[in-house]
Structure 1
């Protein structure tokens, strides 16, 4: 089957945290025989900061961020069996969603794939004219990369015909243990872009422990932090390319995950960084959110912190031997239960079940 996928970027993770998720899911589907074309706009300097060349598992179409180019790529939706609009493209989001509904064949499977469901649902509650609300009656399925039952119930309450979480996972071909790299040497590292709904939690879970442990070394990677006031024992790395993520995760004593406000509130939303770190056998410290035990077991596969004081206490007590044991346990767990190959099998089954229902109805 042929998939037309309209997203933010497959080629660049620059200001695009969903890149790893897209790559893992689409690689798994490509290996199952799907013919995939990924359409991404040339916007936000992403093409100047590419992490990968166009991959073998998907045809890459980069189009100018103009109305004329948009019309051209939307017209190609008519050739696909499955048409997907992901949220957070950043330009023409409304037009893309309306466009896949208008241009997809009547028998095509039409999907809204929400990689920030908690935030999207908050927007929908506040805006009766939200484009996703308007499109739901014409969509066959909503897929999300997190949220559990609260997100499923909310989407169904808004009228979604079907809503299924397809969680983040590990691509072992991309994220795996490597040798240490002194550029990332520290006691605790955090990787994430500076966003309004994340900053206060980074202050609590990362900058506060740095202030509490002045003798320890901290490292922050990601865009936007260069203008942020930080304790003297914190180094800012800037954008960390995907090819550097393994070394970034393998080198520090521990790696920190900090959820965005909406994801922490709703739970059941592990970030891509959780699986990237576990795949590199890193000792992960995460802020507390409901559902963590479905992915990693607290105290043996991950350390969970309720606040910055907990982070500081975990770090102060963490020996190299215990950090290694936690990281190895996390690696075993994600390889067994949380790979993109398994997520690809889940999505493949959803697609085939929908096709079977269509055949029965016909």
Structure 2
């Protein structure tokens, strides 16, 4: 299969989770024998922080504007499938261009589904609009559960299918490194996640001055009152994620408000940490227990006291058992190899549906 992907970024993981998601998925997809072209809008923010410019598993090219995208018309028209990602600059017009040009299956890959739906409800059409959704043969969603039916019934998607994030099991694995923190958190700052970080990490740090904590990720405002036992790291490159998790006795999973409301929205960091056998303490939302089973594979925390109980109440053997169980579950169900196979199945389903609709009535 020839696949063209127009995504937010493959070249830079700075301040976004899209790059690591695309890298794991597309590398596994290429291993299935497919040819992939990734088209990325050349923007200053990612241009200045690129950590991957020549991937071995696909062609990576940059375009400057919507007009510049025309030079790729032949590739898009001749591809078996074309996939447009969420948060692509001028995504609505990019989607219309793809739908006019593509000869194969067209798909929207939403790595931010609950955020996207919240934007649509307030008429914020930054990268997707209601009129574009029915034109995609396939809506691939980071969120499963009831959201899929909503996308079909309310927005007219011909087929909404879950394609959760995943993890590259070769890159994310247990490492033997010295422990540095009792609880860590890896994530870019966001207004709606910060209250949970305050409650589940900072408040626990103030209550446990003998414990060590860490918050890693960019864009945190300068005015945050970090406790003295919380280390701040501005950015951890993807190549160092596994070592970061390995140095953490526990790590925290924090979910954005829109994703909590929708449920069924695992983050890529959740699977990455679990693949490293680092026990995860997570906020709580519908569907999470179907992905990782508490308390055997993950710990849920609604309050500061829940976090304190885990840090103070579980010994090394107990916490290690949780991490190992989570890793086994992820390796069995949530690797990039699994997602690549699912993607093939979704494309094939969409291709057959598209072919059936193109047949004259007498030929069905």
Please give the TM-score of this superposition, normalised by the length of structure 1: 0.92
CA separation in 2, counterparts of 1:139 and 1:243?
34
Indicate conservation of the 8 Å contact 1:201/1:261, yes or no. Answer: no
2:99 alignment partner in structure 1: 101
1:115 alignment partner in structure 2: 111
Cα deviation code 1:272-309 (max 9, x no counterpart)? 01110111111111111111121111111111111222
SS at match of 1:219: strand
Indicate conservation of the 8 Å contact 1:181/1:247, yes or no. Answer: no
Alignment partner of 1:169 out of 160, 166, 171: 166
- Where does structure 2 lack aligned partners over 5 or more consecutive residues? 360-364
1:138 alignment partner in structure 2: 135
The answer as to 2:229 corresponding to 1:230 is no
SS at match of 1:253: strand
Alignment partner of 1:333 out of 320, 329, 336: 329
SS at match of 2:233: strand
SS at match of 2:260: helix
Indicate conservation of the 8 Å contact 1:225/1:236, yes or no. Answer: no
CA separation in 2, counterparts of 1:181 and 1:49?
29
2:15 alignment partner in structure 1: 15
2:47 alignment partner in structure 1: 47
The answer as to 2:205 corresponding to 1:210 is yes
Number of aligned residue pairs: give it: 355
Shift of 1:51: 3.2
Please give the TM-score of this superposition, normalised by the length of structure 2: 0.92
The answer as to 2:225 corresponding to 1:262 is no
* CA shift in 2, pair 1:181/1:10, >3 Å: farther
Indicate conservation of the 8 Å contact 1:86/1:112, yes or no. Answer: yes
CA separation in 1, counterparts of 2:288 and 2:182?
23
CA separation in 1, counterparts of 2:225 and 2:23?
34
CA separation in 1, counterparts of 2:30 and 2:43?
26
Cα deviation code 1:91-112 (max 9, x no counterpart)? 222222222122223xx21111
SS at match of 1:132: coil
Shift of 1:346: 1.2
Structure 1 stretch displaced more, 29-38 or 242-251: 29-38
Structure 1 stretch displaced more, 38-47 or 153-162: 38-47
Aligned residues: CA RMSD: 1.9
CA separation in 2, counterparts of 1:347 and 1:109?
12
SS at match of 2:130: helix
Shift of 1:219: 0.5
SS at match of 2:118: helix
* CA shift in 2, pair 1:129/1:336, >3 Å: closer
Alignment partner of 2:311 out of 297, 300, 315: 315
